[in-house]
Amino acid sequence: MEKMEGIIELGKGNLMNTYAQNPVVFDHGKGAHLYSVDGRCYIDCVAGIAVNALGYGDEKIRKAVMDVLDDGIFHVSNLYYNKWAPKAAAKLNALAGSRKVFFCNSGAEANEAALKIARKYGSRTGRSRIISFSHSFHGRTYGAMTLTGQEKYQKGFFPVVPEISYAVYNDLESVKALAGDDVCAVFVEPVQGEGGIVPADKEFLEGLRKLCDEKDMLLVFDCVQTGLGRTGRIFAFQHYDVKPDVMSLAKALGGGLPFAACVGFEKAADVLCPGEHASTFGGNALSAALCLVVLEELENGLAEEAARKGRILMKGLEEIAARHPDKCSAVRGLGLMAGLVLKVPPKDVVSACFRKGLLVCSAGYDVLRFVPPLVITEEDIGQALQILDEVLD
């Protein structure tokens, strides 16, 4: 067996220093359990950062990989069709009520595509300004990083993309104040994820929809983290009964492989023309086949399962918050996207949980985030809560 320390040293010596990585190497998993090279078992409430909706070792994922593998082709480029991407796009459109899909590989890329749709849409009327929100997160490429309304992500990388302004989340008046004749789109997360698990108010999203319709601005929902069952509905906007013009998806979309989509509803579906946008790997056969598995599971009730388990997790977190009023101040979230707001540094709690075999991560500067696989068992949720309770003691 390979020694864990050796692999970690190799990583430290050869990977760019962009992550504060925990000192562990995982090599297999089952359900919501991850196993390290040195044989320890962890309960996973991170799920590869809201990616692994079906957990680890899922049989349907394994079969889909083997099917594509048997064909001998993972990738043919978008000069041709593969068997899987059109099916995945059709199913996505049927589930979302959208019209057209552009496939790419990451959340940031999906938002870059949305940005190009927004600016192209605005170019008809000479508008190019975009509104996004403080404490938002949209990714790390230049456009997505500029959309991200948090100074720490942009510091050191100026100049950023021009004509992007930040309004205050859940404050419609702040959007109206910025919505001049030069604005072509509003980008918003239905639940802010990295910013600290902050759900939008219903009136806020309804107000944004109305404002965008009045002013002919595109409403873009970044559902990269909230998408695909995570919040207890297949798409977070279904909680609010507010449809976007464009939606970005990634994270859980590829069943663990890199896969993302920029989804166009009515008037945004045909903005891009041949030659105006592309991705070499976008819609590749293997990722699209796994995407189909994820979408089929969502059709079969995975989101409802997440809603039920989310209620159990939230209730448990609320009990813990009530038991530790000196260390916790609130519980926020939707479905299996939960945040415990702390009065102590989340980093310390994350480390203490890690040492006891529970994987959690932070969000914002004071929130402990839970985004487990949607297939996590009630028993695992109970154990995770118990470990957290002990840590806070």
- Positions annotated as catalytic residues are 137, 222, 251
Smallest distance, ligand PLP to C-beta of residue 189, A = 5
- Determine if 147 is a binding residue for ligand PLP (CB under 6 A): no
Site map 181..220 versus ligand PLP, x via CB under 6 A? --------x---xx--------------------------
Among 212, 250, 385, 392, binds ligand PLP (CB under 6 A): 250
Please report whether residue 107 would count as binding ligand PLP according to CB under 6 A: yes
> Closest CB to ligand PLP among 194 and 245?
194
Listing DSSP states for 257-307 in one string gives B--EEEEE-GGGTT-S-TTS---SSTT-HHHHHHHHHHHHHHHTTHHHHHH
Q: How many residues bind ligand PLP (CB under 6 A)?
A: 14
Sheet holding 367-370, edge to edge: 328-334, 337-342, 367-370, 361-363
Interaction of residue 108 with ligand PLP, rule CB under 6 A: yes
Nearest distance, CB of residue 178 and ligand PLP, angstroms: 21
Q: Which stretch binds ligand PLP (CB under 6 A): 2-10, 103-111, 154-162, 335-343?
A: 103-111
Piece in contact with ligand PLP (CB under 6 A), picked from 101-109, 291-299, 360-368, 377-385: 101-109
Assess 106 for contact with ligand PLP (CB under 6 A): yes
Which of 224, 228, 350, 381 lies at the binding interface for ligand PLP (CB under 6 A)? 224
Residue 138 or 332 having the CB closest to ligand PLP: 138
- Which positions ≥6 away from 347 have C-beta within 8 Å? 362
How far is 203 from 102, CA to CA, in rounded Å?
Answer: 30
Characterise 39 by phi-psi region: left (phi > 0), alpha (psi -120 to 50), beta (else): left
- Closest contact distance (angstroms) between CB of 314 and ligand PLP is 20
What is the rounded radius of gyration, in angstroms, for the C-alpha atoms of the chain?
A: 21
Amino acid at 302: L
Q: How far is Cα 70 from Cα 61, in angstroms, rounded to an integer?
A: 14
Nearer residue to ligand PLP within complex by CB, 44 or 194 = 194
Residues 6+ apart with CB under 8 A from 161: 115, 142, 143, 146
Return the DSSP state at 181: T
Taking the complex as a whole, the smallest distance from the CB of residue 195 to ligand PLP amounts, in Å, to 9
Closest to ligand PLP by CB, 4 vs 374, is 374
Interface residue with ligand PLP among 133, 137, 169, 204 (CB under 6 A) is: 137
Residue 269 makes CB contacts below 8 A (sequence gap 6+) with 98, 99, 100
Residue selected from 146, 225, 279, 362 as contacting ligand PLP according to rule CB under 6 A: 225
Q: How many CB atoms lie within 10 A of CB 12?
A: 11
CA distance 380 to 134: 35
Complex with ligand PLP: residue 48 or 122, whichever CB lies closer: 48
**Residue 342, token pair as written in the block:** 């702390």
Smallest gap from residue 223 Cβ to ligand PLP (A): 8
By CB under 6 A, tell whether 264 contacts ligand PLP. Answer: no
What sign for the dihedral angle of Cα 206, 211, 214, 217?
negative
DSSP of 333-377: EETTEEEEEESS-HHHHHHHHHHTTEE-EEETTTEEEE---TT--
The minimum distance between CB 219 and ligand PLP, in angstroms, equals 15
Q: Residue from 119, 135, 138, 324 that binds ligand PLP (CB under 6 A)?
A: 138
Nearest distance from C-beta of residue 382 to ligand PLP, angstroms? 27
Q: How far is the CB of 222 from ligand PLP (least distance, A)?
A: 5
Binding flag, residue 279, ligand PLP (CB under 6 A): no
Of the candidates 44, 58, 112, 222, which one interacts with ligand PLP according to CB under 6 A?
222
Q: What's the token pair of residue 138?
A: 């949209």
Specify the residue, 138 or 324, whose C-beta has the smaller distance to ligand PLP.
138
In this structure, what token pair is assigned to residue 247? 């939606």
Based on CB atoms, which residue is closest to ligand PLP, 253 or 375?
253
How far, in Å, CA of 289 to CA of 85, rounded? 7
Q: Which residues make up the interface to ligand PLP (CB under 6 A)?
A: 106-108, 137-139, 189, 193-194, 222, 224-225, 250-251
